Chains A and B, each alone.
Chain A
Amino acid sequence: MVVNSVHWFRKGLRLHDNPALQEALSGADTVRCVYVLDPWFAGAANVGINRWRFLLESLEDLDNSLKKLNSRLFVVRGQPTEVFPRLFKEWNVTRLTFEYDPEPYGKERDGAIIKMAQEFGVETVVRNSYTLYHLDRIIEMNNNNPPLTFKRFQAIVSRLELPRRPLAPVSQQQMNRCLGKISENHDQLYSIPSLEELGFRTEGLPPPVWRGGESEALDRLSRYLDKNVWVANTRVKTCSLYASPTGLSPYLRFGCLSCRLLYYNLREIYMKLCKRSSPPLSLYGQLLWREFFYTAATNNPNFDRMEGNPICVQIPWDQNPEALAKWAEGRTGFPWIDAIMTQLRQEGWIHHRARHAVACFLTRGDLWISWESGMKVFEELLLDADWSVNAGSWMWLSCSAFFQQFFHCYCPVGFGRRTDPSGDYIRRYVPILKDFPNRYIYEPWNAPESLQKAANCVVGVDYPKPMINHAEGSRLNIERMKQVYQQLSHYRGLSLLASVPTIQEEAEPPMTDESQTSSGPDSPPRVLADIEAAVCLMAPDSSTSAPVPDQDNASLHQLFQDHCTSSGWPSSPASSPPQSPAPRSKPGSPSSSCPSPSASPSLLPRRRKGVAHKGRRSQRQRERSSCPMAKEEDEEERMQEEADEERMEEETAAAAQQ
């Protein structure tokens, strides 16, 4: 029987480590590589020009690589559900392959395509290569709930076998066996669209800081893994705010780089340099965070919104379009915030500390605007914005989920100054402030007027006044957060501030006269309950296996730790020239990444553990530290215990949504 394969590219825009593509090639007579794109639909979604450009460059690179193998990329205009029936018939397709998409929208879309393929008698082969692990397996190991703290997630991952090894790139030999005919008019029918075709204006568009494509990704990877660069990056606890020539996150997002390839390369270089048998989980820092948020989102179609999202705390955010616009366009009057938002708009990438700063400022720190609004702006501008990671990170930073302490708000002045004391970052992205001295560059409004004049930038005339009094704003917001979390105190532990005691304030309406006397506004039971809840706060995080200190090779270990958890991706100052502002981006979305979730939620939050559990566990913890043999078994028991608690939590969590 003739096998005519179509491999459908969505994410995973690469020829290396592409198991689904390998399946397409296996025993096939012809293979065609397809990308489905709807230029008309592109206008409907909210994706900026930098992201589109990155996608198109990645497609071009893919096409070039396929050309070298005497094949081509077929970019087909239209919607998948319309395109495939046509292609199935036209090409006499017998096999359709694609990478598994773990996101709820993708799962739904793929389900429909698989069903349609069945009707056409087309076999579908789906392979997982976007994440390191099978997310369902992680969920299963956590008693069918996604872990909601990173520690717990790490604990589960540490019990999993290593991720599958990356596959070799598609070879000439493999391709030769199944070359389809490339028609004369291929470029007419299946060319990669230009930005103009998608409706973007490109005059004056500066060259990209991040060039899309697998080739670029692999170049970066080898630079990143260069021994000298690697050691230098890990030794200095640098925090470069600038785009780095070894940064990888956008390439992971579009699948130009396989996460498993990165994983095994990291592992290898670590073991080579550190001569240790097993690297710590922290080595894979960002890769695991990505995996964490994917796991949390995979079964939750409402993961990107507050309403109907069972893991998201309902916070009465303000709706304030003017304030949102000021933030999004970098007109807040806080140079630190404005510089970050400018860099984001111009280049499509900002350092994770910078993300923390602007996300906190928009939400719980200063403006009290919903994380959903911020998430949408990032979705438009941020090259590496994944649906799951973007929403998850925004929930995390706005203290809407994942059990965060909310007492600490990043100061839009102090945090910037700590991160870049020189202020050169500000001078680069907000050049109007370039002549301010370091002392005032983060707070130009406090500079004496004479100095402002001398710097050719009078605050309120040439640069906006700060849009909010940070002290007052954060005071109010801390109170708001306390209100929210105090209401949740019966479901799980409180945060630090919320545990500040108070006398019973509003009594529940007593039902009978007897109880009225005992539960008036001043009765003690609730106070006790609150204190108890407060005590629960620091009960151990669910995930904790016995601490295993790494004694040997500690300093190198440290280097890796710093590298992966403190300063994120390696950083060396970029040498790209200052950019002029990008043209106002036009909404649009690659058809493969536009979520429109609708199914019912199934995620449920976990709570902090109660006093009793804490006691038991800490006791065991002590036993464990003296008896390492008991660890394994104990871990099992503990996880079971937590699972039970989580089940109990389910009902209350559901009720919390009311």
Chain B
Amino acid sequence: MKRGLQENEQEEGGGPSGGYQKSIKWSTKEDEEKELEQQGASWERLPQEILLHIFQYLPLLDRAYASLVCRGWNQVFHMPELWRCFEFELNQPASSYLKATHPELIKQIIKKHSNHLQYVSFKVDSSRESAEAACNILSQLVNCSLKTLGLISTARPSFMEMPKSHFISALTVVFVNSKSLSSLKIDDTPVDDPSLKVLVANNSDTLKLLKMSSCPHVSPAGIMCVADQCHGLRELALNYHLLSDELLIALSSEKHVHLEHLRIDVVSENPGQQFHTIKKSSWDAMVRHSPKFNLVMYFYLYEEEFDPFFRDEIPVTHLYFGRSVSKDVLGRVGLTCPRLVELVVCANGLRPLDEELIRIAQRCTQLSAIGLGECEVSCSAFVEFVKMCGDRLKQLSIMEEVLVPDHRYELDDIHWEVSKHLGRVWFPDMMPTW
């Protein structure tokens, strides 16, 4: 994966290390000429910096093989530059199809390179053993200073199955030792308020990104502590139950930098749950403080739980409805979401969404992406919607089977009409008849 990515970047002449590449090329040329003049090109005489550069583009396994070629290459293999970024993959053969990082390699890294690690992520499968293995590694990272840490569950979240204390103690090892964490992704983990305090106490000056959706052990007070002290925080992801007026006020205080992204997951734990509301004045404060911030909201609610939402204006920019949502709520979205950029609706009831879409086209003048799943829309309303949005609709996705033909348009006309209004060729999404 890494290799492909970098190759691609290089082809396009871009990439994060573009400047560096230039200087390398320059010196390469000189070296090459000298070498060719003197004793002809030879592999073992490749300068270390070039080898290092080459190694960077090799997948880990190839790098390891290359390191067996000679002493010089082996030295390069162990250069700190190659160990700043590492992704530990922890999978069990019984629960995953993917390969795991070899245990010997993990030992080596901890022994020789833990102090070089800066950008680290752990990908764990659904088994508890994998989560525990990740925590064991974390707790050994005592002499390193991480800049970014991501704990990523690739299937069912297995960190949640661990004893909380074990997880917390491993995580706080990193918090205490790193002191300059700028990005922390710990969605679906048992992180709690006290551990967040440790995080803040050690990394408050550097923390820019914190993602902790679905962390049930964190309370509103815990996240307030982060917001109050980490004034550089620019991106935050959490569940709705942690969102409060106080939090928004804290994030829009003068000391705080502009927030760029706020992601909120609205999930109901049990049917019929009552949700609190956020004051319009708090949102207004946020928009005044960070006029360009993205508010991304994911809703996974039963229809009847939407009552408190979209009553007042809300500065949401990206809106995702993961379950069936009523016509009424979508109608309110059109009235209350003037900053809306992207809208995804997975399903609605049995009645077409026509007027609601038209209203959204009228009121949400920033809307540039929309995806509709099981949402019936009449062909005329859909064409009208696209016509109103025009070519600002950069992404438009709807399943062919939910478009309802009417007196004005048949399904075949839709493709033509919509393409005309978008100024590019467009087709509805299809599912195979199989």
- Cβ of B291 to closest chain A Cβ, rounded Å: 16
Is B94 part of the binding interface, using a Cβ–Cβ cutoff of 8 Å?
yes
Give the docked Cα–Cα distance between A289 and B260 (Å). 44
Is B352 part of the binding interface, using a Cβ–Cβ cutoff of 8 Å?
no
CB atoms of A566 and B183 under 8 A apart: no
A284-307 interface mask toward B, CB cutoff 8 Å, 1 = contact, 0 = none? 011001001100000000000011
Give the docked Cα–Cα distance between A507 and B86 (Å). 11
Give the docked Cα–Cα distance between A550 and B11 (Å). 43
Give the docked Cα–Cα distance between A409 and B321 (Å). 11
CB atoms of A617 and B425 under 8 A apart: yes
Q: What is the chain A residue whose CB lies nearest that of B80? A: A509
Give the docked Cα–Cα distance between A520 and B426 (Å). 38
Interface centre among B81, B322, B423 (most CB of A within 10 A): B322
CB atoms of A554 and B413 under 8 A apart: yes
Q: What is the chain A residue whose CB lies nearest that of B5? A: A490
CB atoms of A549 and B416 under 8 A apart: yes
CB atoms of A509 and B182 under 8 A apart: no
Name the A residues within 8 Å of B300 (CB-CB). Answer: 471-472, 474-475
Is B139 part of the binding interface, using a Cβ–Cβ cutoff of 8 Å?
no
- Cβ of B20 to closest chain A Cβ, rounded Å: 5
Is B44 part of the binding interface, using a Cβ–Cβ cutoff of 8 Å?
no
Name the A residues within 8 Å of B260 (CB-CB). Answer: 503
Give the docked Cα–Cα distance between A548 and B214 (Å). 49
Q: What is the chain A residue whose CB lies nearest that of B294? A: A501
Give the docked Cα–Cα distance between A376 and B268 (Å). 35
Is A565 part of the binding interface, using a Cβ–Cβ cutoff of 8 Å?
yes
Give the docked Cα–Cα distance between A539 and B394 (Å). 8
A528-556 interface mask toward B, CB cutoff 8 Å, 1 = contact, 0 = none? 01000011011111001001111000110
Is A522 part of the binding interface, using a Cβ–Cβ cutoff of 8 Å?
yes
Is A337 part of the binding interface, using a Cβ–Cβ cutoff of 8 Å?
no
Q: What is the chain B residue whose CB lies nearest that of A355? A: B434
Give the docked Cα–Cα distance between A479 and B401 (Å). 26
**Majority SS of interface residues in chain B?**
mixed
CB atoms of B419 and A506 under 8 A apart: no
Name the B residues within 8 Å of A548 (CB-CB). Answer: 416
B window 314-341: CB within 8 A of A: 318, 320, 322-324
Give the docked Cα–Cα distance between A593 and B67 (Å). 46
Name the B residues within 8 Å of A521 (CB-CB). Answer: 147-148, 182-183, 208-209
Q: What is the chain A residue whose CB lies nearest that of B206? A: A521
Give the docked Cα–Cα distance between A316 and B90 (Å). 11
Is A346 part of the binding interface, using a Cβ–Cβ cutoff of 8 Å?
no
B window 147-161: CB within 8 A of A: 147-148, 150, 152-157
CB atoms of A525 and B16 under 8 A apart: yes
B179-196 interface mask toward A, CB cutoff 8 Å, 1 = contact, 0 = none? 000110101100000000
CB atoms of A318 and B84 under 8 A apart: no
CB atoms of B420 and A625 under 8 A apart: yes
Is A514 part of the binding interface, using a Cβ–Cβ cutoff of 8 Å?
yes
A140-168 interface mask toward B, CB cutoff 8 Å, 1 = contact, 0 = none? 00000000001100000000000000000
CB atoms of B318 and A408 under 8 A apart: no
CB atoms of B148 and A506 under 8 A apart: yes
Q: What is the chain A residue whose CB lies nearest that of B237? A: A502
Name the A residues within 8 Å of B59 (CB-CB). Answer: 658
Is A511 part of the binding interface, using a Cβ–Cβ cutoff of 8 Å?
yes
CB atoms of A658 and B3 under 8 A apart: yes
Give the docked Cα–Cα distance between A610 and B154 (Å). 29
Name the A residues within 8 Å of B153 (CB-CB). Answer: 476
A503-518 interface mask toward B, CB cutoff 8 Å, 1 = contact, 0 = none? 1011111111011001
- Cβ of A445 to closest chain B Cβ, rounded Å: 10
Is B373 part of the binding interface, using a Cβ–Cβ cutoff of 8 Å?
yes
Name the B residues within 8 Å of A89 (CB-CB). Answer: none
Is A1 part of the binding interface, using a Cβ–Cβ cutoff of 8 Å?
no
- Cβ of A256 to closest chain B Cβ, rounded Å: 19
Which of the 9-residue segments B28-36, B104-112, B343-351 touches chain A?
B343-351
Give the docked Cα–Cα distance between A535 and B125 (Å). 32
CB atoms of B433 and A289 under 8 A apart: yes
Is B246 part of the binding interface, using a Cβ–Cβ cutoff of 8 Å?
no
- Cβ of A434 to closest chain B Cβ, rounded Å: 23
CB contact between A407 and one of B6, B265, B373, B400 (< 8 Å): that residue? B373
B277-312 interface mask toward A, CB cutoff 8 Å, 1 = contact, 0 = none? 000000000000000001010101100000000000
CB<8 Å pairs between A and B, sample of 18: A289-B433, A368-B155, A396-B432, A408-B374, A472-B267, A474-B323, A478-B322, A505-B209, A508-B17, A511-B17, A511-B56, A515-B16, A522-B208, A541-B427, A547-B419, A562-B411, A622-B423, A658-B3
Question: Interface residues, chain A, CB within 8 Å of chain B?
Answer: 150-151, 280, 282, 285-286, 289, 292-293, 306-307, 314, 316-320, 352, 355-356, 368, 370, 389, 392-393, 396-397, 404-405, 407-411, 414-415, 418, 421, 446, 470-472, 474-476, 478-480, 483, 487, 490-491, 496-497, 499-503, 505-512, 514-515, 518-523, 525-526, 529, 534-535, 537-541, 544, 547-550, 554-555, 557-558, 561-562, 564-566, 568-569, 614, 617-618, 621-622, 625, 648, 651-652, 654-656, 658
